[in-house]
């Protein structure tokens, strides 16, 4: 099952998700990458994300993907901004013709609870701990995906996920928009988190 979800977030921004069931050969015939990856599963995930980018931006073949000082990918000589993410079984991509963007996709797994205190602010954790255990896991995964997307959008060294990246509310619906704030260099950047909580995964996108 290839491309199974696409959303136009606004007039300048759109995203898509790929459910990965194809073999490595399928992706290698469709798209290439200069990044050297030897692990076959990770290579499939990487190429699936690149294929999504090509789907959203058909002129990709004529544009070079470069990497910034901190590893953030960007399109050379293009006004488009993009971000990609992948996990076991899924790849996600977002592009914008106007502003920096970030996206993350995460499987809903128990292990997120073991590292929650590393990325959740005490105020965020306090709200989550009032929920039932199953809902706690979904909310923790949502916050993790949201903060990863925020970081990708504003990638800088020294960012503390619990202190510098704040999500204002719990995700009350399976899909929606929630305000959030990136605190960096004595500045506060207000962003919006678009998200969906599915049966087995969460995706979150950060835009200005």
For the chain, which domains are there? Answer: 3-98 (3.90.470.20), 104-207 (3.90.470.20)
Cβ–Cβ under 8 Å, residues 149 and 206: yes
Burial of 127 (0-12, 13-18, 19+ CB in 10 A): middle
Instruction: Give 154 or 82, the one with higher predicted confidence.
Output: 82
Cα 189-194-196 angle, rounded to 5 deg: 145
Are 97 and 56 contacting, i.e. CB atoms less than 8 angstroms apart? Answer: no
Across the range 16-37, mean pLDDT stands at 86
The predicted pLDDT at position 157 comes to 67
60-87 average pLDDT score = 80
CB 24 within 8 A of CB 44: yes
Collapse the DSSP code of 47 into the 3-class scheme (helix H, G, I; strand E, B; otherwise coil) and give the result: helix
**DSSP SS3 for 1:** coil
């Amino acid at each position: 099952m290839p491309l199974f979800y696409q959303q136009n977030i606004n007039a300048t921004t759109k995203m898509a998700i790929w459910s990965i069931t194809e073999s490595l050969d399928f992706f290698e015939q469709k798209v290439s990458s200069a990044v050297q990856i030897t692990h076959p599963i990770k290579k499939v995930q990487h190429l699936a994300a690149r294929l999504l980018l090509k789907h959203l931006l058909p002129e990709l073949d004529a544009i070079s993907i470069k990497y910034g000082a901190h590893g953030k990918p960007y399109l050379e000589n293009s006004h488009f901004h993009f971000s990609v993410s992948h996990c076991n079984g899924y790849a996600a991509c977002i592009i914008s013709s106007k502003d920096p963007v970030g996206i993350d996709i995460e499987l809903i797994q128990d292990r997120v609870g073991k590292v929650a205190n590393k990325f959740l602010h005490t105020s965020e954790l306090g709200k989550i701990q009032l929920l039932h255990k199953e809902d706690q896991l979904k909310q923790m995964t949502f916050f993790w995906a949201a903060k990863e997307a925020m970081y990708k959008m504003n990638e800088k060294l020294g960012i503390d996920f619990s202190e510098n990246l704040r999500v204002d509310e719990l995700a009350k619906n399976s899909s929606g928009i929630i305000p959030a704030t990136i605190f960096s260099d004595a500045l506060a950047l207000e962003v919006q988190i678009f998200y969906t909580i599915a049966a087995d995964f969460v995706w979150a996108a950060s835009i200005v």
